[in-house]
A and B are shown apart, each in its own frame.
Chain A
Amino acid sequence: MRNAVESFRPERRNGEAGLAVIHVSVALAAAGMVLLFLMVVAFALPAFLQGGGGGPFSWSWAPGKGEFGILPMVAGSVLMAVLAVVSGWTLGLCLCCWLLAPDRSGKGDVLLRNLVGGMVRVMTAIPTVVYGFAAVFLLTPVIRSGLGGSGFSWLTAAIMLSLLILPTVVLVLQAGLGPRLESVRLAGAAAGLTRLELLWYLVLPSSRSTLISAAVLGFGRAVGDTMLPLMLAGNAPVMPETLLSSLRTLTAHMALVTSNEVGGAAYDSLFMAGLFLLLINGIVSLAIRRMGGRS
């Protein structure tokens, strides 16, 4: 049956125009993508090659003094994303296991799990700027009065980022762990193991690539997000000393530089930041392809 379909080769007579239209659309899309890559690389290249003092590769950002280093922002992006992934991934993993493993099979229990699962899906639709807005007026005052500092900090932004990446993590894990749990479910039940025990002792140890690709995907989203760090992290272009100090990510840096229109060498740093983001994203998506864990 499969062969019959695969060997189905059309005669070249009718509707070739339609296929040509599809090829044109693919060419358009490919041209857009190629232009995007070329443009970002071409604009960043001069700054990349120039090097030297005051260029983008230094630890000091002081446009007034002609210093345009973006290394603090690179570090800021990485630190922010790592903290967000550590908390977001842990929460996501636990939530996913909770969703997959109903302890009791009561009706209320199932309903509750469906409700929470639905909420995770709704979370994918919440705009980041809305998250940011709510956090500015709710979370920052809590952090300010509870832990001190200005409230606009590494910690604040990372908490919101971990909420942002949580649905991604949960959905990837669910797609990976769910079928595997089902396949050992019957044997496990015969051995008297609950679903949660099965997950912990059997499924989790054997699904390393799913676990890693969920984390990597979350990392990619956390690095790429602009609005939450911009609104919540305080944006001081220095290395953070504690969880409560402010930091600036690459994405927030780009938004700030364009809105302030400094021009000249500041734009070079903008293009470099763009290239960095492009490269990080490229590595992330290659890593995920390598593991084949894309949902």
Chain B
Amino acid sequence: MKHSIPFLCFRLLTGFSAALVPTMVCVLMGYLLMRGVPVMGKELLFGSTPPLDAVFGRAPVWDGLWPACVGTFWLVVLTMLLALFPGTGCGIFLAELASPLQKKILGAAVDMLAGMPSIVMGLFGFMLILLLRHTILPDANTGLLLAAGCLALLVLPVLAASTREAMNAVPRSLRLAAAASGFSRSQALFHLFLPAAAKGILGGVVLAVGRAAEDTAVILFTGVVANAGLPAGLFGKFEALSFDIYYVSSQYQNQQELLHGFGAAALLLGISCLLLAIARLLEGSFRRKWQGKA
């Protein structure tokens, strides 16, 4: 077959982009890891503070990533506490209980929230504080809980979508069996379908943790700072890994700080990839469990 010029160009381009994209990603991430991995170690996390003292909070860490890691950890934990219930609830509702109209409206709202720029969530938190200051709480300020609340809005659609998909993947035969054995709707839902979909939902939760850990734009508005030490409480300022990386890239003073930035970036990259891998494993085992039984 004789080919037209556009097709030949297209064929060339496919090969070209297949070479270009992996190369770019590998070069960028390889460079990051090359500079970041060698600084990994006790020094990076704890600086000159003895690790045990730092872990138990007996001594402050000035030149390490420990406070940022702890900040990110609490941020993620709080976010998931706040988002888990509404997020999975939404997903279950959409998959099992909603009427077609409710499905349409709520589904559209969740989709819209999913595409919402994360900075808008941050702005929302910022507005909330402004509003509180002007009304009932004159000394309200941004802090950990507010940031977690806004992040919860950000990960809510992730949770809802993955829960909905997991519930939809529960095989029809199981539903039929539940109906045949006279389960009431909620009995079937809570004792059969939810346990059956648990692994899929868990995969979504891990993905959501990843989203919450990596996001920077939201916390930029809601109380992250560069030098807070360990978070002082629910309403205190905090540090976070992702923000530290941004801060170093724009404000670093010396080579030491720069290396810390590379270390932090490599660490965050590692955490994100690890979370993705766990989510994929969970999803894979969920699919395998129900494969061919629909």
Contacts and interface: CB of A to CB of B under 8 A. Distances in A.
Interface of A: 1, 4-5, 8-16, 18-19, 21-26, 28-30, 32-33, 35-36, 39-40, 43, 90-92, 94-95, 97-99, 101, 116, 119-139, 163, 166, 192-193, 196-197, 200-201, 217, 220-221, 223-227, 230-231, 251, 254-255, 258-259, 267, 270-271, 274, 277-278, 281-282, 284-285, 288-289, 294
Contact of A133 (B112, B188, B213, B245): B245
A200 to B, nearest CB: 5
A224 B118 contact: yes
13 contacts: A19-B186, A33-B153, A94-B10, A95-B14, A98-B15, A98-B18, A120-B21, A135-B28, A196-B14, A230-B246, A255-B220, A271-B127, A285-B115
A196 to B, nearest CB: 6
A254 B119 contact: yes
> Which 3 pairs from chain A and chain B are nearest by CB?
A25-B89, A224-B117, A127-B214
Contacts of A91: 17, 20-21
Given A119-B22, A125-B272, A226-B118, A29 B87 contact: yes
B119 A39 contact: no
Contacts of B10: 94, 97, 196, 200
A222 B14 CA distance: 23
A219 to B, nearest CB: 10
B165 to A, nearest CB: 11
B44 interface: no
B113 to A, nearest CB: 6
Interface stretch (B49-57, B63-71, B171-179, B285-293): B171-179
A128 B275 CA distance: 16
Contacts of B213: 127
A285 B221 contact: no
A200 B18 contact: no
A132 B248 CA distance: 12
A284 B115 contact: yes
B28 A15 contact: no
B198 interface: no
Interface size for chain B: under 10, 10 to 19, 20 to 34, or 35 or more residues? 35 or more
Given A95-B18, A277-B117, A10 B186 contact: yes
Contacts of A120: 21
Nearest to B217: A226
Given A26-B86, A91-B21, A40 B120 contact: yes
Contacts of B176: 1, 4-5
Contact of A130 (B7, B126, B268): B268
Contacts of A94: 10, 13-14, 16-18
B127 A40 contact: yes
A128 B214 CA distance: 8
Contact of A225 (B27, B87, B117, B250): B117
Given A25-B89, A116-B22, A254-B123, 5 more contacts: A26-B106, A32-B156, A126-B272, A197-B1, A201-B7
A196 B3 CA distance: 12
A14 B187 contact: yes
A95 B187 contact: no
A78 B187 CA distance: 51
A40 B268 contact: no
Contacts of A121: 276, 280
Contact of B89 (A24, A128, A259): A24
B88 interface: yes
A130 B36 CA distance: 12
Given A14-B187, A18-B186, A26-B86, A40 B109 contact: no
Contact of B117 (A9, A16, A123, A251): A251
A36 B124 contact: yes
A163 B24 contact: yes
Contacts of A29: 86-87, 89-90, 156, 160
A285 B184 contact: no
A204 to B, nearest CB: 9
Contacts of A132: 246, 249
Nearest to A270: B123
A130 B264 CA distance: 9
B57 to A, nearest CB: 27
* Residue of A23, A36, A138 with most partner-chain B CB within 10 A: A36
Contacts of B280: 121
A8 B175 CA distance: 9
Interface in B125-178: 126-128, 130-131, 152-153, 156, 160, 172, 175-176, 178
Interface in B20-63: 20-22, 24-25, 27-29, 31-32
A173 to B, nearest CB: 12
A9 B184 CA distance: 8
Contacts of A30: 106, 109
Interface string B208-252: 001001111100110000000000000000000010011011100
A74 to B, nearest CB: 14
Contact of A163 (B16, B25, B130, B152): B25
A231 B20 CA distance: 23
B216 A15 contact: no
